[in-house]
Amino acid sequence: MFDPLAQVIGLLRPQAVFSKEIGAAGRWAVQYVGFGQPAFAAMLEGRCRLAVEGEDPVVLEEGDFVLLPETPTFTMTGLEPAPVQRIDARTAPTEGRIRYGRQEGAPEMRQFGGWFSFGSPDASLLVSLLPRMIHVRGVPRLTQLVRMLGDEAARAEVGRDLILERLAEILLIEALRAAPARTAAPGLLRGLTDPRIAAALRDLHGDIACRWTIPDLARAAGMSRSAFFERFTRLVGMQPMTYLATWRMAVAKDLLRQGGIGLEEVAARVGYGSASAFSTAFSRHSGRPPGRFADETSAGT
Closest CA to 150 of 64, 60, 62, 41: 41
Residues 135, 116: Cα–Cα separation, whole Å: 18
Would you state the pLDDT for residue 116?
86
**Averaged pLDDT, 107-132:** 84
pLDDT digits (tens, 9 = 90+) for 26-62: 999 999 999 888 999 999 999 999 999 989 999 999 9
CA distance 19 to 182: 30
Give the pLDDT confidence score for residue 125 in this predicted structure.
Answer: 72
Question: pLDDT confidence of 95, banded at 50, 70, 90?
Answer: low
Q: Residue 225's pLDDT band (boundaries 50, 70, 90)?
A: very high
**Mean pLDDT, the chain, whole residue set:** 89
pLDDT bracket for residue 301 (50, 70, 90): very low
Q: What is the pTM of this model?
A: 0.80
End-to-end distance of the chain based on CA atoms, in angstroms? 36
Mean pLDDT score, 141-170: 85
Q: Where are the domains of the chain?
A: 4-181, 194-298
Q: Is the pLDDT of residue 195 over 90?
A: yes
The CATH architecture that domain 194-298 belongs to is: Orthogonal Bundle (1.10)
For the domain made up of 4-181, give the CATH fold.
Jelly Rolls (2.60.120)
